Amino acid sequence: MAPLATLGILSIGDMGVGIARLLIANNFRCITNASDRSQATQERARKNSVELVPSDTDLCNTADYILSIVPPRDALATAQRVVTASSSSGFKQRSSPLYYVDLNAVSPRTAREVAELFSSGSPDVRLIDGGIIGGPPSQKSDGSWTRLSIPVSGPHKWSEAQPGGQRMTEVLKVKHISDQIGAATGLKMCFASLSKGFTALAIESFTTAHNLGVTDQLRAHLEAFNPTAAKMAERGLVSMPPKAYRWVHEMQEIAETFETDGGFEKDESIFRPIAKVYDLVANGTDLGREITEDRQRGKTADDVALLMGEGTKRRKEKTE
């Protein structure tokens, strides 16, 4: 059976692979350009039935849709790559428009900058603003899939796109929430601020409790008075370290959202300091390596607090 549509995925990280696998399982074809990536990344694509193409121009010529799923710091550069390729002499005339779906964790201001890139550099490409809420799709033992939520916005409706737009939006749980570019990314920022902001508070709380020798008492009181927070803290602390490097820029994008679109002053914005907390996790501790290697082997919030405490101690010693 011929595929319903061809999707270019940029890039093939955990989320990109999860979405590609879900789409392929539902008769969509997925491709990527990983020519500038490592052999491991290219092998990950092949292993998951994502076809490799040699250039961005080939990607734009072959795909019906391009999904941008990259670390927030790379969102503008990735959009510029596609603008350059889709406005080059090698870009072929099409019978149906190319759609660029920006699913990155960025602020509405950044989404509007992406829109301006396409408007001025490649106006025939149709931009859809979006965000991903939830973890990467994965197949369960009964054959069904865990699902995420993808709010989208902008003047073009993904469900009406051809080919295969209606079916694709059903598979990915896409919901069009507004005709304005920035609405979907703004929703993503507001949602992420609550979960990732809470995890940052848990990092500081559990690290300080560890340094004071009262972690067990903190956990006991949380379980007695706020069991929901206890579960969220434990889950967030253990799953966070491998993603902290991506969250540094995302916290800055959340701050930008709250300042530009929320109307808060910079000295009222708490997410720029939170970005520094995640930078400390990513670059000032052993958490990324230690928890990535062992996070499925019973790691706990105590282990995170221990490594955070060691990192803050080393930092203090360097400044004394």
Q: Which domains does the chain have, with CATH numbers?
A: 6-179 (3.40.50.720), 186-319 (1.10.1040.10)
**C-alpha to C-alpha distances, 307 to 200, 247, 310, nearest whole angstrom:** 15, 19, 5
pLDDT for position 124 = 94
Percent of the chain with pLDDT over 90: 84
Contacts of 26 (CB under 8 A, 6+ apart): 4, 167, 171
* pLDDT band per the 50, 70, 90 thresholds, residue 293: low
Contacts of 175 (CB under 8 A, 6+ apart): 149, 150, 151, 152
Of residues 67 and 269, more confidence is placed in: 67
Residue 101 has pLDDT above 80, yes or no: yes
Q: Check: pTM over 0.85? Answer yes or no.
A: yes
* pLDDT band per the 50, 70, 90 thresholds, residue 180: very high
Cα–Cα distance measured from residue 12 to residue 20, given in angstroms and rounded to the nearest whole number: 9
Each residue's pLDDT tens digit, 39-86: 988 999 999 999 999 999 999 999 999 999 999 999 999 999 999 999
Burial class (CB in 10 A: 0-12, 13-18, 19+), 197: middle
Are the CB atoms for 126 and 151 separated by under 8 Å? no
Which tokens go with 191? 């949602």
**CA dihedral over 231, 237, 239, 243, signed as positive or negative:** positive
Percent of the chain with pLDDT over 70: 97
Burial class (CB in 10 A: 0-12, 13-18, 19+), 141: exposed
Residue 294 has pLDDT above 80, yes or no: no
Mean pLDDT of the chain: 94
* pLDDT band per the 50, 70, 90 thresholds, residue 270: very high
Residue 287 has pLDDT above 90, yes or no: no
pLDDT for position 298 = 64
Residue 290 has pLDDT above 70, yes or no: no
* pLDDT band per the 50, 70, 90 thresholds, residue 1: confident
3-class DSSP assignment, residue 262: coil
* pLDDT band per the 50, 70, 90 thresholds, residue 92: very high
Q: Which of 94, 58, 60, 52 lies closest to 79 in space, CA to CA?
A: 60
